[in-house]
Amino acid sequence: MTRLAIPKTYKLYIGGKFPRSESGRVYEILAKKGDFLANAAKASRKDAREAVVAARAAVGGWAGATAYNRGQVLYRIAELLEGRRAQFVDEIVQTEGVSVAAASAQVDEAIDRWVWYAGWADKYVQVAGNANPVSGPFFNISVPEPTGIVAIVAPQAGGSLLGLVSVVAPALVAGNTVVVIANETMPLSAISLSEVLATSDVPGGVVNILTGSPAEIAPWLASHADVNALDLVGAGDLDWVDLQIAAAETLKRVLPPENGPDAATPSIDRIVAFTETKTVWHTKGLI
């Protein structure tokens, strides 16, 4: 006799908590074969707004943490991902319809990628920053700093976990906080990742994960005046030019959509894209 399983209620992840959508809406998540898997919360514009509020509240602490500390916190996530490996593999097999081997490979790559980015936290400033030899009695230094809140449309094709990790991790490295719209049809990895984040040392609000329709939510994030940057990597099937136009209203930093298996390949460029170079001049006077 088989045991009757206990299905999970999949919710949003906002400010370190797991709310249902304020709209009360859900949508069906289907397995690759078409079977019903779960009802995911269908985030509304107000959920997006709450997520931005949470993300803003978290910026100071996360950006203000030491780089070493951020690196450790990010590495800790990789440890937890490793511990939940089986769960992620299982969900990927179900939602993406791939083999266990392929799912395992994706999870491994996602974890390794997370570790790669975690290691950048206390190094990218040294690579992207500069001491500037100005002609005068000044100490002059340029350092990259986090832009603030990055809104992300996660890749909607390819591996659901790997795609998400590939865009969230680099944004976090510098100290940005994130509002990410998950893969619409395959959000289970994202929701499970939120559970990992919730039990990790990442402060609430640093990562906020919305499930639902990117077409519905993205315009609100693109036009939100308190969002500083927009990663449209997974927005290729949306009216992304309109999103970019909306983002121009407050001069957001925008990364364009990317398609194909190479989308969001690991690169320091993805870290630096969501930073601002701050240059400070100090007078040097001996007497």
Partner 1 sequence: MNFLDYAPAPESQAILNLRSDYGLFIDGEFVAGRGTPFQTIDPATEKRIAMIANANTADVDAAVAAARRAYTGAWSRLSGSDRGKYLFRIARLVQERARELAVAESLDNGKPIKESRDVDVPLVAAWFFYYAGWADKLDHAGLGPNPASLGVAAQVIPWNFPLLMLAWKIAPALAAGNTVVLKPAETTSLTALLFAEILQQADLPPGVVNIITGAGDTGQALVNHPDVNKVAFTGSTAVGRAIARSVAGTDKKLTLELGGKAANIVFDDAPIDQAIEGIVNGIFFNQGHVCCAGSRLLVQESIHDEVIDRLKDRISTLRLGDPLDKNTDIGAINSADQLRRITELTAMGEQEGAERWSADCAIPENGFWFAPTIFTNVSTSHRIARDEIFGPVLSVLTFRTPAEAIAKANNTPYGLSAGIWTDKGSRILAVADKLRAGVIWANTFNRFDPASPFGGYKESGYGREGGRPGLAAYLKPAPSLKPAASLKPAPRRPRAVRAPDATAAPAVSARKKAAK
Partner 2 sequence: MTSSQLATRLAPRDRTLALLGGEATDANLRRYLHGIPGIDAVGLEQRAADLGSRSIKTTSKKWALDTIIRLIDLTTLEGADTRGKVRSLVGKALTPDAGDPDCPRVAAVCVYGDMVPHAVEALGSAHAAGTGDGIAVAAVATAFPSGRASLAVKLADTADAVAAGADEIDMVIDRGAFLSGHYGLVFDEIVAVKEACRRPDGSHAHLKVILETGELNTYDNVRRASWLAILAGGDFIKTSTGKVAPAATLPVTLSMLEVVRDWHRLTGEKIGVKPAGGIRTSKDAIKYLVTVAETVGEEWLQPHLFRFGASSLLNDVLLQRQKMTTGHYSGPDYVTID
Give the interface size with partner 1 as a residue count (CB under 8 A). 57
- Greatest CA separation found in the chain? 88
Binding piece for partner 1, criterion CB under 8 A, among 71-79, 99-107, 199-207, 269-277: 269-277
Task: Please report where in the chains the tokens 């957001």 appear, as a residue.
Answer: 252
Task: Count the Cβ atoms, other than its own, within 10 Å of residue 199.
Answer: 13
Which DSSP string do the residues of 21-63 spell out, in sequence order?
PTT--EEEEE-TTS-EEEEEE---HHHHHHHHHHHHHHHHHHH
36/139 with CB nearer partner 1: 139
- Would you say 99 or 277 has its CB closer to partner 1? 277
248 binds, among partner 1, partner 2, none (CB under 5 to 8 A by kind): partner 1
Contact between 283 and partner 2 by CB under 8 A: the answer reads: yes
Contact call for residue 287 and partner 2 (CB under 8 A): yes
H-type helices in the chain, by residue range? Answer: 45-64, 67-83, 85-96, 100-120, 124-128, 160-173, 188-199, 214-223, 240-248, 268-272
133 binds partner 2 (CB under 8 A): no
273 sits near partner 1 (criterion: CB under 8 A): yes
- DSSP-derived letter for residue 137 is S
Residue 264 in the binding site for partner 1 (CB under 8 A):
yes
* Residue 134 binds partner 2 (CB under 8 A): no
**Which of partner 2, partner 1, none does residue 286 bind (CB under 5 to 8 Å by kind)?**
partner 2
Contact between residue 131 and residue 211 where contact means Cβ atoms under 8 Å apart = no
Q: Is 50 in the site for partner 1 (CB under 8 A)?
A: no
User: Which residues contribute to the site for partner 2 (CB under 8 A)?
Assistant: 136-138, 283-287
